[in-house]
Amino acid sequence: MKRHSILAEVDQHKTVDEIMLVAKDIFALILETGLWQDQFFLHPLGFYYCRLFADDDHQIRLHIWEPNYPVKKDLFIHDHFYDLCSWVLCGKILDYTYSVEATDKISKYTMFTSSYLTDKNVRTLARTNAYHTVNKIEEKIIEKNNKYVIPRDTFHSNIILFEESDLTVTFIFTYNHKKNHSPNVIGLSSNEMYFETDPINISPSKVKILVEKAIGNIWKIK
Q: For residue 21, what are the domain limits? A: 5-218
DSSP secondary structure, 74-127, as one string: TS-EE--SSEEEEEEEESEEEEEEEEEEE-SS--SEEEEEEEEETTTTEEEEEE
User: What b-and-e string marks burial along 12-32, b requiring 16 or more CB atoms within 10 Å of the CB?
Assistant: bebeeeebbebbeebbebbee
Rounded Cα distance between 69 and 48, Å, is 9
CATH number of the structural domain spanning residue 47: 2.60.120.10
Q: Which range, of 3-7, 60-64, 74-78, 180-184, averages the lowest pLDDT?
A: 180-184
Confidence band of 188 (pLDDT split at 50, 70, 90)? confident
Could you tell me the CA-to-CA distances from 118 to 1, 39, 59, 189, 199 in Å, in that order?
11, 12, 12, 28, 11
Asked if the model's pLDDT at residue 219 lies above 60, the reply is: yes
Mean pLDDT of 202-219: 96
Number of folded domains that form the chain: 1
Rounded mean pLDDT of the chain?
91
Query: For residue 57, what pLDDT is reported?
Result: 93
Mean pLDDT of 200-208: 95
Rg (CA), the chain: 18
Query: For residue 69, what pLDDT is reported?
Result: 84
209 CB neighbour count, 10 Å cutoff: 13
Mean pLDDT of 207-222: 89
Query: For residue 73, what pLDDT is reported?
Result: 65
Q: Is 135 exposed, middle or buried (0-12, 13-18, 19+ CB in 10 A)?
A: exposed
Share of the chain above pLDDT 90, in %: 71
CA 129 to chain centre: 27
Query: For residue 79, what pLDDT is reported?
Result: 95
Q: Taking a C-beta distance cutoff of 8 angstroms, is the pair 91, 168 a contact? A: yes
pTM of the model: 0.92
Query: For residue 33, what pLDDT is reported?
Result: 95
pLDDT digits (tens, 9 = 90+) for 96-143: 999 999 999 999 999 998 876 655 567 788 888 899 999 999 999 999
- Of the two residues 120 and 196, the one the predictor is more confident about is 196
- Of the two residues 14 and 45, the one the predictor is more confident about is 14
- Of the two residues 153 and 75, the one the predictor is more confident about is 153
Mean pLDDT of 161-190: 89
Q: In 3-state terms, what secondary structure has residue 7?
A: helix
Asked if the model's pLDDT at residue 167 lies above 80, the reply is: yes
